[in-house]
A and B are shown apart, each in its own frame.
Chain A
Amino acid sequence: MINSSCRHSDKTQCPESIPATEIKGNRYPDSRCQSESGHHAANDTCARPNRRSELRVSIDNPCMIVPVMAEGFPDTQNISVGFALDISKKGIGFEIAGDNRIATNQVVFGLETDDGEMEFVSAIVRFIESQVASQRIGAEFLPEVQQLFTTANIRPNYDCKELKFRTGLSIDALRAWEDCGVLVGALNDKILVCPQCESLPTWRLGCPSCGASSTTSDQLIHHFACANIGHASEYKTDGSLRCPKCKFNDLVVGVDFEYLSGPQRCHNCGWSDSKLSPIGNCLSCGLRFAGHQALEIVINGYDVRRLDPLVYLP
């Protein structure tokens, strides 16, 4: 439905018909908000070619407006709901009940679609017109690069300098947006990080006692005939293998004995055990720590249903 004329029968209700001098409470004066003629056009249309060159479509969908505070946090105390009035490629007009002013210039605008879901877009409030029990607001969509929920802001990216996974918006801000119902969180991964600085460490197997990497594994020999299991070095004589228990000579692998992997030994502290442990080494703060001391953090990514105004346009 293309709105070629103002949908308001009462011209006094049309925000476009109100002279700029009569606009109350417009905290964000913008020359574009003000009527050049100061009255409705003779053909009763709200369109002003030099101000609103874009095609507008009248809609009547429920909407929500979340003011954006500093550092990208939502102003959860001042979330407003209302109805969208019209939408164009560049902006949207909507009406919200009450006379509480939107606290910030930048808002996240949510529009309910026909399937009952909300789609969101970042916008700048361009004018506010106070009514008796409501406000009519016109907002301009921010360009793609200035949108609040860009991929860089809501998806974790690896920061090569700090060796951490980061999102453009802080985790707390993203969680707050998730609580508002704007973002949908999804588990990307769980990673083990340095317990001291939360940077990504390198991992290797090492001595569980001191963390050293200078370990060796002993090789054992199981002599079938006498069930003796001893270090391979104990079996070695001049060029052949001799069981230290039963003194049997010239042992043949597979027939007389088998090799078994023996205990790991640390050259640094003398520790000995059956297997090595994963040892983390933080490249950022230099901390060396055992695997069980590592901090497990959850890497969440967020998603948002983006409002595409072109969907509403012919």
Chain B
Amino acid sequence: MVTMLEDWIHWFTSLEFHQICLILLPILLIDAPRYAVGSLLMCIGDIFYDLMKVFIRCKDPQYDHCPSVCIVLAGLNEGETIGDTMESIWGTYPRMEMVIVDDGSTDGMFEVVERFAESRDNVICLRKTERGGKSSALNMALPYTNAEILVCVDTDSHLGPNAIWEIVQPFKEANVAAVSGAVIARNPFVNLTTWLRAIEYLRTLFLGRMLSDRLNLLGIVSGAFGAFRTSAIKQVHGWDVGPGEDGDLVIRLRKSGYRVKFRPYAQCFTNLPVAVVQLFKQRRRWDWSVVTFECRKHIDLLNPFHSSFTASNFFMVAERIVFTIFFQFAFWIYTIWLMFNMHQNVVYILLLNYIAYTVLEIFQYTAVLYYSLDRKRDLKIGMAVPLVPIYYLFLRTATMVAVLEEMLTRRSFRDNFVPAHVRSATWHW
């Protein structure tokens, strides 16, 4: 082992700068610019800002915006979890009503909801006799509410303290139509899959979206916890058929001239998939939507002559297409090329990439810890950071599979996420 390490050091020191750059091309092209550099710059900027606040004794802003809110919970066969979810939300905000939509459950979910509603005013229970998919379930709530803000929460999630207060604050600005909350893992330590997934959530959904928000490139609002201006939602007629309906809605809102914000401390704790197969399926479903929506349905955002063209929308879509599709292909082509052309040093190259990725991850995770509300827990989660490069290799595989099958076979329109009668009726972008 020591000899191998010495050999590797000897090999590494013998490399020219351009050779190192060539070997680390995927990191330098994809991961470093997309996440690491931006995150670190943002973090350093915030550290200076926070220090300035200490010096000038600036007070943190209080919650001074209190619009009426309608919590929408749409679920299918969530009888076991929805009771706790409703209890965790109810009463955390003063001007609150709740609409719960049962999308044709058979497990007694509606009875749980009705029991909850019996003793509370402003709770509306809706039941669809036949499953129509998540989008139609969410849309069904629209005719039943006149609240200013619609907050969608997954039926198996719990909200953190003051989450509703946090998420409604950006709506002070009239052109903000959607605000994404941060989705945090509730079960990070079940197994290695959930542990690594928890790191990914903190890195991507927490830190990554903070950065996207600062750059006005946020193109998605989490389905697990997101808030929308009701008038804007009604203006675009709600959600379209999924999968990927959350991202699609946000793009349509942005096309209509609205802004989308992220609120890192509006936190929602959700259960992560425990099995690797589940994770693979979920990941594929997420990545199908990049092809379906960004590459097909909303490709007009790249057209400078289109009426809805804006620079931020252009960069938002371009970023997704370039990083999720183009560089995925590039990564695997490069890897294969590397295997063939430098096969005598493959192990050294992999080790170099691994070390580089790990260092990059440690930097980013340090930034996560700076913003974290629960540093002790997140530090424990961060213990698995050295395994993250391997995990990302797995994710890249899932992304590649998803992109290919969606590009070649329109796989998303055969997925059970949407019921068959809706799949057959909707447009296959």
Which residues of A line the B interface, CB within 8 A?
A: 218, 220, 222, 224-231, 244-245, 255-256, 258, 260, 262-263, 272-274
Q: How far is the CB of A305 from chain B (nearest CB, A)?
A: 42
Do the beta carbons of A227 and B240 come within 8 Å of each other? yes
Name the CB-closest residue of A to B237: A245
B143 proximity list for chain A (CB < 8 A): 218, 220, 229-231, 262-263
Tell me if B425 and A225 are in contact (CB < 8 A): yes
Determine the chain A residues whose CB is within 8 A of the CB of B125 once the complex forms. 274
- Could you jot down 30 A-B contacts, CB within 8 Å? A218-B143, A222-B136, A222-B140, A224-B132, A224-B241, A224-B425, A226-B240, A227-B133, A227-B239, A227-B240, A227-B241, A227-B245, A227-B422, A227-B426, A228-B238, A229-B136, A229-B142, A229-B143, A230-B143, A244-B237, A245-B238, A256-B425, A258-B130, A262-B143, A263-B143, A272-B144, A273-B144, A274-B124, A274-B125, A274-B144
| B139 interface contact, C-beta 8 A | yes
Q: Once the chains are docked, how many angstroms separate the CA of A220 from the CA of B421?
A: 18
Contact across chains for A225 and B427 when beta carbons are under 8 A apart: yes
Contacts beyond the supplied A226-B426, A227-B132: 12 A-B pairs with Cβ under 8 Å: A224-B241, A224-B421, A224-B422, A227-B133, A227-B245, A228-B139, A229-B142, A230-B143, A230-B237, A231-B143, A255-B425, A258-B132
Name the 9 nearest CB pairs between A and B, nearest first: A245-B237, A224-B425, A227-B135, A229-B139, A227-B136, A225-B426, A224-B422, A274-B124, A225-B425
B214 within 8 A of A: no
Whether B241 pairs with A225 at a CB distance below 8 angstroms is yes
Shortest beta-carbon distance, B292 to chain A, in Å?
Answer: 14
Bound complex: CA of A260 vs CA of B132, how far in Å?
Answer: 11
Q: Return the chain A residue nearest B121 by Cβ.
A: A208
A-contact bits for B104-138, CB 8 A (1 contact / 0 none): 00000000000000000000111010101101100
Nearest opposing residue in chain A for B425, CB measure: A224
Interface contact tally, CB-CB below 8 A: 66
CB distance from B240 to the nearest CB of A (A): 6
- Residues of chain B in range 139-163 having any CB-CB distance to chain A below 8 Å: 139-140, 142-144
Chain B interface residues (CB < 8 Å from chain A): 124-126, 128, 130, 132-133, 135-136, 139-140, 142-144, 237-241, 245, 421-422, 425-427
Contact of A226 among B126, B144, B241 (CB under 8 A): B241
- In Å, the complex CA distance between A250 and B79 comes to 38
A30 and B240 CA atoms in complex are apart in Å by: 97
What is the chain B residue whose CB lies nearest that of A251? B425
A222 to chain B, nearest CB (A): 5
User: In whole Å, how far is A228's beta carbon from the nearest beta carbon of chain B?
Assistant: 5
CA distance A274 to B124 in the complex (A): 6
**Known contacts being A258-B130, A274-B125, is A228 close to B140, with CB within 8 Å?**
no
What separation, in Å, do the CA atoms of A262 and B240 have in the docked complex? 20
B101 → A minimal CB distance (Å)? 10
Return chain A residues, CB-CB under 8 Å to B139: 222, 227-229
For B419, the closest partner residue in chain A by CB is A224
Alpha-carbon gap, A226 to B93, bound state (A) = 33
Contact A263 B426 (CB under 8 A): no
Determine the residue in chain A with the shortest Cβ distance to B241: A227
Chain A residues, Cβ within 8 Å of B140: 220, 222, 229, 260
Question: What's the Cα separation between A181 and B422 when bound, in Å?
Answer: 68
Q: How far is the CA of A230 from the CA of B235 in the complex (A)?
A: 12
Contacts of B427 in A (CB 8 A): 225
- The closest CB in chain B to the CB of A208 belongs to B121
Q: How far is the CA of A228 from the CA of B139 in the complex (A)?
A: 7
Q: If A255-B425, A256-B425 touch, does A229 touch B238 (CB 8 Å cutoff)?
A: yes
Cβ–Cβ < 8 Å partners of A227 in chain B:
132-133, 135-136, 139, 238-241, 245, 422, 426
